[in-house]
């Protein structure tokens, strides 16, 4: 789910939206009245004895044909009785790929976050495969440091992805409040993220958008990697070529258009750890991927003198331009001097709370909390008047 941070930050670079749309998508859009009409002089000629309609046929009861559901087994149709068990508590964020709502699941008495994506936009942007991949991956992963999927379904006009709501916020908000972290905290955060990335890569999953805004904090201050909207499966030996992610975190092989693989995530981790420890990014942001690639290639990545030699070495081995020479296996980190004394076991790492993250600084002007409104119809527009709420990636 696309990320939303508490402050201004670089927006994710999504796959190009100008791609040619497949024939079945064009047909569905024309049926819905949102796609281009066939070019003049193309298509079958008149059939004898068949009268052609002089006016556009009426739109179906659904803005998009129900045939769409056949292509979305990852999003089952929600039974109407289940809909009334959700109440909207607020608006978390609105982005180009959908709206994030804070809701109360009355049946489970649990607060959740729901990403709402209009089907028309999913088809128009040709991101159907991306939505399916996001849900498929989140259903597959089960890890203590992954923000897992709660549920997914579809209504008449929208697709929905529901996850647990993290009221503590994200790592980016905490970093902005703290400025930078002590190396002991960076070491713990790094160990948790290493375990997550090794787990994902063993499953053949490359995340492609590892950044602070996509890392949530639980009530004990431990990390939860979120937003699998740009993730994809890569088979053994397969390479990707799509330029996507967030510019300041993107590896040089991603910025150049590939080929690249799971090693790109380790570069992103290096950028993230550099910022956590020093309070600044190793390379200033650029306006596009071409300019960013030029800056990355010209940078020497000199670690600040305040960092310990062990941490400086770790950053240098992650921010290596040659992806084959980057640290990427668990034993590389277990044997690294920066992680001396660290046990790479998720249960042991979660044993004690992270003091710096338990009580993040509250916003100066917290938004008002609206009265809960019943989510009677998933497809009614209830997001227009809902006030903003705390950040949650989506």
| In the predicted structure, residue 341 carries a pLDDT above the cut 70 | yes
Residues 160 and 176 in one domain: no
Residues 156 and 187 in one domain: no
The predicted pLDDT at position 356 comes to: 66
| In the predicted structure, residue 199 carries a pLDDT above the cut 80 | yes
Residues 159 and 177 in one domain: no
265 is a catalytic site residue: no
Q: Assess if residue 389 is contained within a domain.
A: no
The predicted pLDDT at position 82 comes to: 54
Predicted confidence (pLDDT) per residue in 62-72, tens digit: 555 555 566 67
* Nearest one of 145, 393, 174 to 279, comparing CA atoms: 174
Residues 218 and 352 in one domain: yes
| In the predicted structure, residue 26 carries a pLDDT above the cut 90 | no
Residues 321 and 344 in one domain: yes
The predicted pLDDT at position 2 comes to: 43
Given the residues 209, 218, 227, 265, select the one marked as catalytic.
209
The predicted pLDDT at position 96 comes to: 64
Residues 205 and 336 in one domain: yes
Residues 130 and 191 in one domain: no
Q: What is the CATH number of the domain that holds 144?
A: 3.30.200.20
Between residues 71 and 331, the one the model is more confident about: 331
Residues 229 and 344 in one domain: yes
Share of the chain above pLDDT 70, in %: 70
Rounded average pLDDT over 65-82? 65
* Nearest one of 14, 16, 15, 13 to 246, comparing CA atoms: 13
Query: What is d(CA 214, CA 4) in angstroms, rounded to the nearest whole number?
Result: 8
The predicted pLDDT at position 184 comes to: 94
Neighbouring C-beta atoms of residue 332, cutoff 10 Å:
16
Q: Assess if residue 258 is contained within a domain.
A: yes
Q: Assess if residue 65 is contained within a domain.
A: no
Residues 312 and 272 in one domain: yes
Q: Assess if residue 47 is contained within a domain.
A: no
Residues 196 and 181 in one domain: yes
Q: How confident is the model at residue 354 (pLDDT cuts 50, 70, 90)?
A: confident
Q: How confident is the model at residue 149 (pLDDT cuts 50, 70, 90)?
A: confident
Q: Assess if residue 28 is contained within a domain.
A: no
Residues 163 and 186 in one domain: no
Q: What is the CATH number of the domain that holds 322?
A: 1.10.510.10
Q: Assess if residue 393 is contained within a domain.
A: no
Predicted confidence (pLDDT) per residue in 151-173, tens digit: 888 888 888 999 888 888 899 99
The predicted pLDDT at position 70 comes to: 62
| In the predicted structure, residue 281 carries a pLDDT above the cut 70 | yes
- Counting the structural domains of the chain, the total is 2
Query: What is d(CA 30, CA 222) in angstroms, rounded to the nearest whole number?
Result: 48
The predicted pLDDT at position 83 comes to: 54
Query: What is d(CA 367, CA 370) in angstroms, rounded to the nearest whole number?
Result: 9
Q: Assess if residue 104 is contained within a domain.
A: yes
Lowest mean pLDDT among 17-26, 261-270, 333-342: 17-26
Residues 178 and 162 in one domain: no
| In the predicted structure, residue 138 carries a pLDDT above the cut 60 | yes
Rounded average pLDDT over 18-35? 49
Q: Assess if residue 49 is contained within a domain.
A: no
Give the range of the structural domain holding residue 77, as residue numbers without chain letter. 70-167+367-374
* pLDDT, mean over the chain: 78
Query: Per the omega criterion (within 30 degrees of 0), is the bond before 259 cis?
Result: yes
Phi, psi of 281 (to 5 degrees): -85, 150
Residue appearing with tokens 């209009």: 118
Half-sphere exposure for 209 (CA within 13 Å, toward CB)? 29
């Amino acid at each position: 789910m696309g990320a939303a941070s508490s402050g201004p930050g670089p927006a994710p670079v999504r796959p190009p939206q100008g791609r040619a749309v497949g024939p079945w998508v064009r047909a569905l859009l024309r049926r819905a009245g949102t796609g281009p009409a066939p070019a003049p002089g193309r298509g079958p000629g008149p059939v004898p004895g068949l009268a052609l309609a002089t006016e556009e046929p009426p739109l179906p009861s659904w803005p998009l044909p129900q045939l769409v559901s056949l292509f979305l087994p990852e999003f089952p149709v929600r039974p109407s009785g289940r809909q009334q068990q959700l109440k909207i508590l607020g608006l978390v964020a609105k982005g180009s790929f959908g709206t994030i709502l804070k809701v109360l699941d009355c049946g489970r008495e649990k607060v959740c976050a729901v990403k709402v994506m209009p089907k028309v936009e999913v088809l128009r942007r040709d991101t159907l495969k991306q939505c399916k991949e996001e849900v498929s991956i989140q259903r597959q992963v089960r890890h203590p440091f992954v923000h897992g999927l709660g549920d997914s379904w579809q209504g008449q006009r929208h697709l929905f992805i529901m996850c647990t709501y993290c009221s503590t916020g994200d790592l980016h908000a905490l970093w902005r409040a703290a400025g930078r972290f002590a190396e002991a905290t960076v070491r713990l955060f790094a160990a948790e993220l290493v375990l997550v990335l090794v787990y994902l890569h063993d499953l053949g999953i490359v995340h492609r958008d590892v950044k602070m805004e996509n890392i949530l904090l639980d009530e004990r201050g431990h990390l939860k990697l979120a937003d699998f909207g740009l993730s994809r499966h890569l088979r053994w030996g397969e390479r990707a070529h799509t330029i996507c992610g967030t510019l300041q975190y993107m590896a040089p092989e991603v910025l150049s258009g590939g080929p690249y693989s799971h090693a790109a995530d380790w570069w992103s981790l290096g950028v993230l750890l550099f910022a956590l420890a020093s309070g600044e990014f190793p390379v200033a942001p650029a306006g596009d991927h071409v300019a960013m690639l030029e800056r990355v290639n010209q940078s020497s990545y000199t670690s600040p003198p305040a960092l310990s030699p062990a941490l400086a070495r770790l950053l240098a081995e992650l921010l290596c331009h040659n992806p084959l020479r980057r640290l990427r296996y668990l034993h590389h980190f277990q044997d690294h001097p920066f992680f001396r004394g660290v046990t790479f076991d998720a249960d042991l790492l979660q044993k004690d709370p992270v003091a710096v993250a338990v009580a993040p600084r509250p916003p100066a002007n917290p938004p008002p909390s609206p009265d809960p409104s019943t989510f009677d119809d998933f497809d009614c527009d209830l997001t227009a008047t809902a006030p903003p709420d705390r950040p949650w990636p989506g």
